[in-house]
Amino acid sequence: MKVVSPEILLYAVPLLAFLAVYFFRRSRARARHEEQLRESVQAGLTEPVSLHPVVDPNRCIGSSSCVSACPESAIGVIHGKAQLVNPSACIGHGACAASCPLEAIKLVFGTERRGIDIPQVKPNFETNVPGIFIAGELGGMGLIRKAVEQGRQAIASIKGLARGGTDYDAVIVGAGPAGIAAGLGAIEHKLKYVLLEQEGSLGGAVYHYPRNKIAMTAPVRLPLFGRMKFNEVSKEALLAFWQDIANRASLRIRFNEPMQSIERSGNGYVVKTPRGSYAARAVLLAVGRRGTPRKLGVPGEEQPKVVYRLVDAGQYRGRHVLVVGGGDSALEAALALSEQPGTKAALSYRGAAFDRVKPKNRERLEAAAAARRVQVLLGSAVERIGARDVALKIGDKGVTLPNDAVIVCAGGVLPTDLLKQVGIEFETKRGAA
């Protein structure tokens, strides 16, 4: 019998051990990804809501670099090929595509089953309606660095339009990456501008990213400031950067002024908000695809204690909080609040059951309800929001709960209808870039 030499064993044993660990980990990862996909299918959450990756199986080698790059765990590797396993969690930042060593991933809007309307824009970012421009996510670009570039280029195009006859040269709608870049460009080109933001903070969709999420990993070029280099910057660091830039440039932003309408007037347009009207030669729409939060339409909703997304559960510690909604975002908000010391969380939903949610969220909510950490109010509707309470109707019965804050998780309303009324033409994307 032939004896294996000690030299071969010296190298073979560690190699075999390494391979055993490698294949064991891949097997566990595959099982985890298959379970995620199964949960998404069971919950009916198989359609991504915005820009998302599509994998070319002929180029993909299953390296898992995209999996490591995705903070939302939206993508996984099954049978040696990458694919979306948690589509509803994908927010379209494109880190997966940037990380792929073989460029096997492209970012697209819509699917064969669910088309997404994207407005048609010219190379200078002007729509088919002269004087109305679109940049950023609404126009089909969810990547931060490219949204910034589009905002910069769009305001440069507006610079070339004839001036005079209106209060402003440009009304910029949206203080996300594209809107901030456009505002800086307006200052650089000495344009009279007003920058409107529907919420109380800048950053757009970035502001609503999860805490400590990696938001951007590539440099950008900003008007007035030049090239800004980033290396895996977190949400918090990026927002702090935007705020510093806005302060240094004295960027004028009118917060809490959502756009309500755009009307033709003379040689320009009038943009109306709840607080005023702004006449300009051109309008640049730099809004995201989350849209305007869908509201309840009840008395008291205008109070500052009513918000439309949970950003930091810790700020509600020790308070009575009502969450309204029946999707995963509502369940996850209620559960996060229930984990805060002293917080009394309640969840109101019109339906009789939580049908289109992930099984794990449903199970966690049932456990929290059984432990009396969350008060679940099915078949309920908010009727009034008071300063220290909230009134609901459950069937024929009225209920009043003590309340310090209300978080409405009812999705958003895109300005598609409003833009179509202005005459802007759209193209339905079904899995196209």
Q: What is the pLDDT of residues 50-81, one digit of tens each?
A: 778 899 999 999 989 999 888 778 899 998 99
What's the pLDDT score for residue 321?
98
Span 235-262, average pLDDT: 88
- 199-248 residue pLDDT tens: 877 877 776 665 555 555 567 788 988 887 766 667 788 888 888 989 99
- How does residue 360 score in pLDDT terms, banded at 50, 70 and 90? confident
Asked if the structure places residue 300 within a domain, the reply is no
Residue 359 placed within a domain: yes
187 burial type by CB count under 10 A (0-12 exposed, 13-18 middle, 19+ buried): middle
pLDDT at 179 over 80: yes
- Kindly state whether residues 381 and 341 are assigned to the same domain: yes
Asked if residue 4 has pLDDT above 70, the reply is no
In this prediction, residue 134 carries a pLDDT of 93
Q: Where in 59-208 does DSSP place strands (E)?
A: 75-78, 81-84, 105-108, 116-119, 132-134, 168-173, 193-196
Rounded to an integer, what distance in angstroms lies between the CA atom of residue 63 and that of residue 72? 18
Residue 353: pLDDT over 70: yes
Residues 104 and 122 in one domain: no
Greater confidence, 92 or 406? Answer: 406
Question: What's the pLDDT at 194?
Answer: 95
The total of other beta-carbon atoms located within 10 Å of residue 83's CB is 18
Q: For residue 201, what pLDDT is reported?
A: 77
Mean pLDDT of 130-151: 83
- Long-range CB contacts (within 8 A, 24+) of 337-340: 337/310, 337/313, 337/374, 338/368, 338/373, 338/374, 339/313, 339/373, 340/313, 340/314, 340/316
Radius of gyration of the chain (CA): 25
Domain assignment present for residue 257? The answer is yes
In whole angstroms, what is the distance from residue 419 CA to residue 259 CA? 11
| 298 lies in some domain | no
> Can you give the pLDDT at residue 390?
98
More confident position, 90 or 217: 90
Question: What pLDDT, on the 0 to 100 scale, is given for residue 378?
Answer: 95
Both 421 and 403 in one domain: the answer is no
- Could you read off the pLDDT of 376-424 as tens digits, one per residue? 999 999 999 999 999 999 988 999 999 999 999 988 777 787 888 889 9
Q: Please give the mean pLDDT across all residues of the chain.
A: 86
Q: Say if 243 falls within a structural domain.
A: yes
Please state the rounded mean pLDDT for residues 359-380: 93
Token digits of residue 377: 């109010």
Let me know if residue 371 belongs to a domain: yes
* Whether residues 19 and 103 fall in one domain: yes
| Token representation of residue 146 | 């490219």
Q: What is the CATH number for 200?
A: 3.50.50.60
pTM of the predicted model over 0.85: no
Q: What is the dihedral of CA 246, 259, 108, 185, to 10 degrees?
A: -30
Q: Is 87 found in the same domain as 149?
A: no
Report the run of H or E that residue 372 belongs to, with start and end. Answer: none
**Residues 192 and 241 occupy one common structural domain:** yes
Clarify whether residues 353 and 288 are in a common domain.
no
- Does 283 have pLDDT greater than 70? yes
Q: Residue 57: its pLDDT value, please?
A: 92
Q: Are strands 426-429 and 116-119 parallel, antiparallel or unpaired?
A: antiparallel
The answer to whether residue 406 sits within a structural domain is yes
- Looking at the fold, whether 277 and 330 belong to one and the same domain comes out as no
Domain coverage including residue 227: 117-292+414-429
What per-residue confidence (pLDDT) applies to 142?
61
* Confidence at residue 299, expressed as pLDDT on a 0 to 100 scale: 96
In this structure, the answer to whether residues 269 and 219 fall within a common structural domain is yes
Q: Do both 197 and 329 map to the same domain?
A: no
Please, which pLDDT band fits residue 432 given cuts at 50, 70 and 90? Answer: low
The rounded Cα 347 to chain-centroid distance in angstroms is: 23
Percentage of the chain beyond pLDDT 90 is 43
Tell me: do 405 and 418 sit in the same domain: no
Domain total for the chain?
3
CATH number of the structural domain spanning residue 18: 3.30.70.20
Amino acid of residue 414: L
Q: Are strands 320-324 and 344-349 parallel, antiparallel or unpaired?
A: parallel
The domain boundary residue, chosen from 108, 142, 159: 108
> CA dist 200 to 176, 253, 299, 308, Å?
12, 10, 21, 12
Answer yes or no: is 1 within a domain.
no
Q: Are residues 405 and 423 in the same domain?
A: no
Backbone angles phi, psi at 131, to 5 degrees: 95, -10
CA angle, 92 then 224 then 256, to 5°: 55
